Structure 1
């Protein structure tokens, strides 16, 4: 396993890119991103975050009913950013 590359990046931008990417291959599903945060800079390993959230989105599409909707929500509560 490679070394972790931690850096600062904008989480809503990464989420929007992932949702667009998964939506392209999710023919019978609707993916939507809801966020109240136009900008949310975080310090983390961006590649690892993309891998984890991408896997979650892929599984959500794979295991939701045909024609289902997958909603990704991003909220900030003080210094805590939550994605669900």
Structure 2
């Protein structure tokens, strides 16, 4: 039996719709999802109910990424000492 290539995985829309529903649905809901595909490509998907939710999610992501960067800097400074 010949080896068949693995089909590229995609997150089903029904899953993304359910995730949106879990966040509050409508104008109060939303998410930004970052993940890596099986071939190593980073992907970001989002579903956002309103501009205010989008601004809040963006700010939360900025803080998260800043905190990660600060943590990495602290680790690299500790390792270089």
Q: TM-score range by the shorter chain?
A: 0.3 to 0.5
User: Bigger relative contact order, structure 1 or 2, given CA contacts below 8 A and separation 6+?
Assistant: 1
User: Structure 1 or 2: larger helix share?
Assistant: 2
TM-score by length of 1: 0.32
TM-score by length of 2: 0.33
User: Structure 1 or 2: larger strand share?
Assistant: 1
Larger Rg: 2
